[in-house]
A and B are shown apart, each in its own frame.
Chain A
């Protein structure tokens, strides 16, 4: 599991300003998972490994939802998400923002089961996985780690201390389209803010009693485990005493290793020489990605109607990434986007 730095908890000092800071950190953390997941997703060749692609895509979409929910909560308590800043982007390979250093290093890498096991399942691992622990991470520290789930619990705790006057009534600062839950959870008071954060935690980790989220989908950790084990997680129809209520015993999730582009790992713009086709594609991708962050910044700062253009930018990124990942740069290797801040396409 990801361990969160103690400083992040220190921000939560009982003040509204501290809560603003913590939610900004949460937004950055949610966003930071998206490039690595997308990188793996887009490395899958079209028409093969379809179920794996669908699972990853479903997780990525929920990470986007979580980022939006965090933004809505921050806006609801009169904060302002900062998304168009070069500092908003994590560096890959690197630690996720707010995570304890010396722990998991998250790369941009093509899909492999090992990547899912070593990285994605670690990112998504709940504090206490429900008896499907595929892996026990050696703890770097002796004391009990502080997890993302606990970070969110602490946020919930402090939201509950807020007064009605701490909430904004500005509807333009709430995104209420794009995802189903955004239509139903209008963050405007303590209860709705808690509901929003609770959904993030449960979609990511499941509940303490079930691997399923409130929408009866396996939480992210278990969806990645399905990919790793190559089997769907199903309810054990007839659990005997001592047996688990769920098992990776559903239909097979086939993985065709030939259905993955041999994409470069951890590209940087310098990985591509100036003047090459790959450099042009990477610069243009990064310009589009930066444009998306600028557009999302507007979406979450009073211009929610810009979600349409933002979706267009996401689709454009997808198209560009797919072209890059099928473009051979050196024998046996294709290009991949470096997800860096590039405010001018020069």
Chain B
């Protein structure tokens, strides 16, 4: 099942993502050294000019704009032209505010999640045919997709599921009826979208990018954020111009078809532009030599928008029995013809077809909380029972670095996050990895908690050393919050001021509503703030928008608002004695050692430059 299915729709349009970039530098979290220029637009790449980077006034909004359904498929054929699904849109909520795009942490900015999104299928006049909630998910497989510098070059992909499905008047749409019928058992649908062509330059398209996506069925028990299928592994150093990125596929043995999602795998000529010509692209299985199964028409006009990169192969025929047997026991590969006509393997499955990945891979945890992670293991797409999975700390994908100062170390202390070194998959190929967090003890001082990376790996692949193809970004990111205790009944000066000041510093758009640094201003807006801080993280109106407030701090804030003093205002407490030496000078930027971060080209560019991706940590065996 999943969106890689004969029953599916594709859509294409624009997305808007407007994060505040003040929090892109971990050192900006330090209230003691924060200076007003960190809230100003950056004026250059040098550490002295970078200020609050390229969008300090961002409000974290995530919107779908003009996303039209570009194709709908049923049983290997397009939905009838008379089906009203053609001409419909994929839209976000028409009864709540926009969804929000949020980083996990300033030292893990490579798993930005979309929170609080409602997804609708609606007609041109806004009539809702399907309303659903998008399960919060982070992007994965970010890569440099277009030949430019900076975040505009990037493509990335989001896979998740749609829940709480409310169907509208779909009597005249056989396609939507089929989609509804597919969801009866699981109560959900599968959605995948690819984003690229993000625009950071001032102008009409500022904060906009291209989005193409697919919606299809989701079977009960299926992972929410992962295709249970075949996974093509990009070589560590992608050769150009035949560079393809990680991508999944599913073999439908009954229909004798292979569905491959190239939506985030093909390079483009410009950001958000045409797919780069790579000659003939053919899918093959690699037995003793590559055997082609079919080619794709990726150079046709509007191919990308109308397919979202999903292809069905072989086209116009079914796999023969021999082919079916072969693809189920051999690696699949994409071949590209180079300028001499010689076929080059662009990307292929690893030998033996072994693969394991966590379904959900971003977690926020409270001290003493346990979280269960489902890890799926497969061989050539089939569940792999009894597989031993080794779990290790791997902080190499985190980004403990600052443009202007020294960023706090990540992933220490290790004993604040506990998990078993080994787990074994059950008959269904699924293993449960239990993460157990304890109080990390404020190791980062001015940033709450600590961020960790945990990588599950199939033990069978370790025999290959570091040579077994794997996807570096496929690790679990965990933010463990500090324990937090208030000063008796919480007061502004006793406990809460530093929390509010930090939000005021990092999220200057709030100045349009109130001054979060100022006790009186906070009191004057107590009702609205109480409402917003009371909301679940999944609510698009939830405060803080950054979703980085621990349960304990949230409880303290709510208690503070709900128990005002005799003057009717939340308790102020006593101001600390004014001590001159408390103020610490802002860091004086020095020329950066290490790779250039180029912050004005975007947070993801800078964060990527700061990753190490050296697999290290505990002994594996």
Partner of B94, one of A277, A294, A316, A318: A294
> Is there contact, CB below 8 Å, between A346 and B89?
yes
Known: A280-B65, A312-B97. A344 touches B122 (CB 8 A): yes
> Is there contact, CB below 8 Å, between A312 and B541?
yes
Contacts of B124 in A (CB 8 A): 344
> Is there contact, CB below 8 Å, between A309 and B96?
yes
Is B321 an interface residue, CB under 8 A from the partner?
no
The secondary structure that dominates the A interface is helix
> Is there contact, CB below 8 Å, between B512 and A322?
yes
Is A157 an interface residue, CB under 8 A from the partner?
no
Contacts of A298 in B (CB 8 A): 95
Contacts of A316 in B (CB 8 A): 97-98
In whole angstroms, what is the CA distance A312 to B532 when docked?
Answer: 9
Chain A min CB distance to B522 (Å): 16
Selecting from A18-26, A262-270, A285-293, the interface stretch reads A285-293
In whole angstroms, what is the CA distance A46 to B511 when docked?
Answer: 9
In whole angstroms, what is the CA distance A287 to B65 when docked?
Answer: 10
Partner of B96, one of A46, A275, A312, A344: A312
Contacts of A82 in B (CB 8 A): none
Interface string of A16-48 (1 = CB under 8 A from B): 000000000000000000000000000000100
Partner of A284, one of B63, B122, B509, B511: B63
Known: A308-B541, A319-B513. A291 touches B65 (CB 8 A): no
Is A259 an interface residue, CB under 8 A from the partner?
no
CB nearest neighbor in B for A316: B97
Interface string of B528-557 (1 = CB under 8 A from A): 100110010000110000000000000000
> Is there contact, CB below 8 Å, between A291 and B531?
no
Indicate the member of B59, B68, B93, B98 with the most A CB atoms within 10 Å. Answer: B98
CB nearest neighbor in B for A319: B512
Is A345 an interface residue, CB under 8 A from the partner?
yes
Chain A min CB distance to B401 (Å): 32
> Is there contact, CB below 8 Å, between A345 and B97?
no
Interface residues of A in 264-321 (CB under 8 A from B): 275-277, 280, 284, 287-288, 290-291, 294-295, 298, 306, 308-309, 311-313, 315-316, 318-319
In whole angstroms, what is the CA distance A316 to B124 when docked?
Answer: 24
Partner of B531, one of A290, A308, A322: A308
Interface string of B44-81 (1 = CB under 8 A from A): 00000000000001010001111010000000000000
Chain B min CB distance to A65 (Å): 15
In whole angstroms, what is the CA distance A316 to B203 when docked?
Answer: 22
In whole angstroms, what is the CA distance A313 to B57 when docked?
Answer: 19
Is A94 an interface residue, CB under 8 A from the partner?
no
Is B91 an interface residue, CB under 8 A from the partner?
yes
- Give the number of chain B interface residues (Cβ < 8 Å): 36
In whole angstroms, what is the CA distance A298 to B128 when docked?
Answer: 15
Interface residues of B in 490-518 (CB under 8 A from A): 509, 511-513
Contacts of A284 in B (CB 8 A): 16, 63, 65
Chain A min CB distance to B197 (Å): 15
CB nearest neighbor in A for B203: A277
Chain A min CB distance to B380 (Å): 42
CB nearest neighbor in A for B124: A344
Is A93 an interface residue, CB under 8 A from the partner?
no
Is A343 an interface residue, CB under 8 A from the partner?
yes
Chain A min CB distance to B165 (Å): 18
In whole angstroms, what is the CA distance A288 to B93 when docked?
Answer: 9
> Is there contact, CB below 8 Å, between A345 and B65?
yes
Contacts of B96 in A (CB 8 A): 291, 295, 309, 312-313
Chain B min CB distance to A140 (Å): 38
Chain A min CB distance to B511 (Å): 8
Known: A288-B97, A344-B126, A346-B89. A46 touches B512 (CB 8 A): yes
> Is there contact, CB below 8 Å, between A308 and B95?
no
Chain A's interface size range is 20 to 34
Is B613 an interface residue, CB under 8 A from the partner?
no
Is B594 an interface residue, CB under 8 A from the partner?
no
Known: A280-B65, A311-B531, A319-B512. A343 touches B94 (CB 8 A): yes
Contacts of A295 in B (CB 8 A): 95-96
Is B468 an interface residue, CB under 8 A from the partner?
no
In whole angstroms, what is the CA distance A115 to B183 when docked?
Answer: 56
Interface string of B199-218 (1 = CB under 8 A from A): 00001101010000000000
In whole angstroms, what is the CA distance A280 to B14 when docked?
Answer: 11
Chain B min CB distance to A345 (Å): 5
> Is there contact, CB below 8 Å, between B125 and A344?
yes
> Is there contact, CB below 8 Å, between B66 and A343?
no
In whole angstroms, what is the CA distance A322 to B68 when docked?
Answer: 30
Contacts of A312 in B (CB 8 A): 96-97, 532, 540-541
In whole angstroms, what is the CA distance A275 to B14 when docked?
Answer: 12
Contacts of B509 in A (CB 8 A): 319
> Is there contact, CB below 8 Å, between B63 and A345?
yes
In whole angstroms, what is the CA distance A313 to B94 when docked?
Answer: 10
Interface string of B403-446 (1 = CB under 8 A from A): 00000000000000000000000000000000000000000000
Chain A min CB distance to B558 (Å): 15
Chain B min CB distance to A326 (Å): 10
Chain B min CB distance to A143 (Å): 43
Partner of B97, one of A277, A294, A309, A323: A309
Chain B min CB distance to A95 (Å): 26
> Is there contact, CB below 8 Å, between A344 and B89?
yes
Contacts of B95 in A (CB 8 A): 291, 294-295, 298, 306, 309
Interface residues of B in 296-330 (CB under 8 A from A): none
Known: A319-B59, A345-B64, A345-B66. A291 touches B513 (CB 8 A): no
In the complex, given contacts A306-B95, A319-B509, what are 18 additional A-B residue pairs having Cβ atoms less than 8 angstroms apart? A46-B512, A280-B65, A288-B97, A290-B126, A291-B93, A291-B97, A308-B535, A311-B528, A319-B59, A319-B512, A322-B512, A343-B94, A343-B122, A343-B126, A344-B89, A345-B66, A346-B66, A346-B68
Nearest 8 CB-CB pairs, A to B?
Answer: A343-B126, A312-B541, A346-B66, A295-B95, A309-B96, A316-B97, A277-B204, A312-B97
Sample of 12 A–B contacts (CB below 8 Å): A277-B203, A277-B204, A277-B206, A309-B95, A312-B532, A312-B540, A318-B513, A343-B122, A345-B65, A345-B91, A345-B92, A346-B65
A interface residues (Cβ-Cβ under 8 A, vs B): 46, 275-277, 280, 284, 287-288, 290-291, 294-295, 298, 306, 308-309, 311-313, 315-316, 318-319, 322-323, 343-346
